A and B are shown apart, each in its own frame.
Chain A
Amino acid sequence: MTSELDIFVGNTTLIDEDVYRLWLDGYSVSDAVALRVRSGILEQTGATAAVLQSDTMDHYRTFHMLERLLHAPPKLLHQLIYQIPPSRQALLIERYYTFDEAFVREVLGKKLSKGTKKDLDDISTKTGITLKSCRRQFDNFKRVFKVVEEMRGSLVDNIQQHFLLSDRLARDYAAIVFFANNRFETGKKKLQYLSFGDFAFCAELMIQHWTLGAVDSQVDDMDVDLDKEFLQDLKELKVLVADKDLLDLHKSLVCTALRGKLGVFSEMEANFKNLSRGLVNVAAKLTHNKDVRDLFVDLVEKFVEPCRSDHWPLGDVRLFLNQYSASVHSLDGFRFQALWDRYMGTLRGCLLRLYHE
Chain B
Amino acid sequence: MPGKLKVKIVAGRHLPVMDRASDLTDAFVEVKFGNTTFKTDVYHKSLNPQWNSEWFKFEVDDEDLQDEPLQITVLDHDTYSANDAIGKVYIDIDPLLYSEAATVISGWFPIYDTIHGIRGEINVVVKVDLFNDLNRFRQSSCGVKFFCTTSIPKCYRAVIIHGFVEELVVNEDPEYQWIDRIRTPRASNEARQRLISLMSGELQRKIGLKVLEMRGNAVVGYLQCFDLEGESGLVVRAIGTACTLDKLSSPAAFLPACNSPSKEMKEIPFNEDPNPNTHSSGPSTPLKNQTYSFSPSKSYSRQSSSSDTDLSLTPKTGMGSGSAGKEGGPFKGLLRQQTQSALEQRGGSPHRFCRRREFPFFTLTAFPPGFLVHVGGVVSARSVKLLDRIHNPAFVGIMGNTRPYKLLDWNSFNSDEPETRDAWWAEIRQEIKSHAKALGCHAVVGYSESTSICEEVCILSASGTAAVLNPRFLQDGTVEGCLEQRLEENLPAGCGFCHIPYDELNMPFPAHLTYCYNCRKQKVPDVLFTTIDLPMDATVIGKGCLIQARLCRLKKKAQAEANATAISNLLPFMEYEVHTQLMNKLKLKGMNALFGLRIQISVGENMLMGLASATGVYLAALPTPGGIQIAGKTPNDGSYEQHISHMQKKINDTIAKNKELYEINPPEISEELIGSPIPEPRQRSRLLRSQSESSDEVMELDLSHGKKDAFVLEIDDTDAMEDVHSLLTDVPPPSGFYSCNTEIMPGINNWTSEIQMFTSVRVIRLSSLNLTNQALNKNFNDLCENLLKSLYFKLRSMIPCCLCHVNFTVSLPEDELIQVTVTAVAITFDKNQALQTTKTHVEKSLQRASTDNEELLQFPLELCSDSLPPHPFPPVKEHLESASSNSGIPAAQRATSVDYSSFADRCSSWIELIKLKAQTIRRGSIKTTVTVEKASPMGEGNFRNRAGPSCANSTVGVVKMTPLSFIPGAKITKYLGIINMFFIRETTSLREEGGVSGFLHAFIAEVFAMVRAHVAALGGNAVVSYIMKQCVFMENPNKNQAQCLINVSGDAVVFVRESESEVVPTQHPTANCQPACPGGEVTT
- Give A contacts to B, CB under 8 Å: 1-14, 45-48, 50-52, 54-55, 57-58, 61-62, 64-65, 75, 78-83, 85-86
Contacts and interface: CB of A to CB of B under 8 A. Distances in A.
Given A4-B1035, A5-B997, 18 more contacts: A3-B763, A3-B764, A4-B817, A7-B761, A8-B790, A10-B756, A10-B757, A11-B758, A51-B789, A54-B790, A58-B794, A61-B1001, A78-B13, A79-B14, A80-B1012, A82-B1005, A83-B1012, A85-B953
Contact of A81 (B118, B765, B953, B961): B118
B505 interface: no
A83 B1035 CA distance: 28
A7 B1028 CA distance: 15
B991 to A, nearest CB: 14
Contacts of B791: 8
Contact of B955 (A10, A13, A86): A86
B994 A61 contact: yes
A53 B913 CA distance: 58
A86 B994 CA distance: 27
A219 to B, nearest CB: 27
A63 to B, nearest CB: 12
B994 A9 contact: no
Nearest to A3: B764
A52 B1005 contact: no
Contacts of B1002: 65
Nearest to A84: B958
A7 B817 contact: no
The B contact surface, by secondary structure, is mixed
Contacts of B765: 1-4
Given A2-B765, A45-B734, A83-B959, A57 B997 contact: yes
Given A50-B786, A51-B793, A9 B759 contact: yes
For the complex of A and B, the 7 pairs showing the least CB-CB separation, nearest first, are A5-B763, A10-B758, A4-B763, A9-B1004, A11-B757, A11-B961, A7-B1001
25 contacts: A1-B767, A3-B762, A4-B817, A5-B762, A5-B763, A5-B1000, A5-B1033, A7-B761, A8-B794, A11-B756, A11-B1008, A45-B793, A46-B734, A50-B786, A51-B786, A55-B790, A55-B794, A62-B1001, A64-B998, A65-B994, A65-B998, A75-B14, A80-B108, A80-B110, A85-B958
Contact of B790 (A9, A51, A64): A51
A10 B823 CA distance: 10
Contacts of B766: 1
Given A46-B734, A48-B789, A61-B997, A80 B764 contact: no
B1008 A7 contact: no
Interface in B767-811: 767, 779, 782-783, 786, 789-796
Contacts of A79: 14
Contact of A6 (B762, B961, B994, B1006): B762
B805 to A, nearest CB: 13
Contacts of B645: none
A7 B1046 CA distance: 15
A8 B734 contact: no
B1008 A45 contact: no
A225 B1070 CA distance: 70
A2 B795 CA distance: 24
Given A47-B789, A80-B1013, A2 B764 contact: yes
A304 B791 CA distance: 59
Contact of A45 (B764, B796, B1012): B796
A332 B794 CA distance: 75
A83 B786 CA distance: 26
A1 B1033 contact: no
Nearest to A6: B762
Interface in B726-767: 734, 756-767
Given A50-B786, A83-B1008, A9 B997 contact: no
Nearest to B110: A80
Contacts of B1004: 7, 9
B121 interface: yes
B818 to A, nearest CB: 9
Given A7-B997, A61-B1001, A81 B793 contact: no
A86 B952 CA distance: 13
Interface in B142-180: none
B960 A65 contact: no
Contacts of A14: 756, 794-795
Contacts of A8: 758-760, 790-791, 794
A82 B1004 CA distance: 11
A83 B958 contact: yes
Contacts of A2: 764-765, 767
Given A65-B1002, A80-B108, A86-B955, A7 B793 contact: no
Contact of B764 (A4, A7, A47, A61): A4
A246 B71 CA distance: 83
A134 B1033 CA distance: 38
B853 to A, nearest CB: 45
Contacts of B1009: 80-83
B996 interface: yes
Nearest to B996: A5
Contacts of B757: 10-11
Interface in B1053-1068: none
A271 to B, nearest CB: 58
Contacts of B13: 78
Contacts of A52: 793
A65 B1005 contact: yes
Contacts of A4: 763-765, 817, 996, 1035
B968 to A, nearest CB: 14
B995 to A, nearest CB: 8
Nearest to B14: A75
A82 B1006 CA distance: 8
Nearest to A86: B955
Contacts of B958: 83, 85
A88 B958 CA distance: 13
Interface in B938-980: 953, 955, 958-961
Most buried by A among B734, B761, B792, B794: B794
Nearest to B1008: A11
Contacts of B1012: 11, 80, 83
Contacts of B734: 45-46
A76 to B, nearest CB: 11
B1005 A55 contact: no
A51 B782 CA distance: 12
Contacts of B1008: 9, 11, 81, 83
Contacts of A7: 760-762, 997, 1000-1001, 1004
Contacts of B782: 1
Most buried by B among A1, A2, A5: A5
A82 B118 CA distance: 12
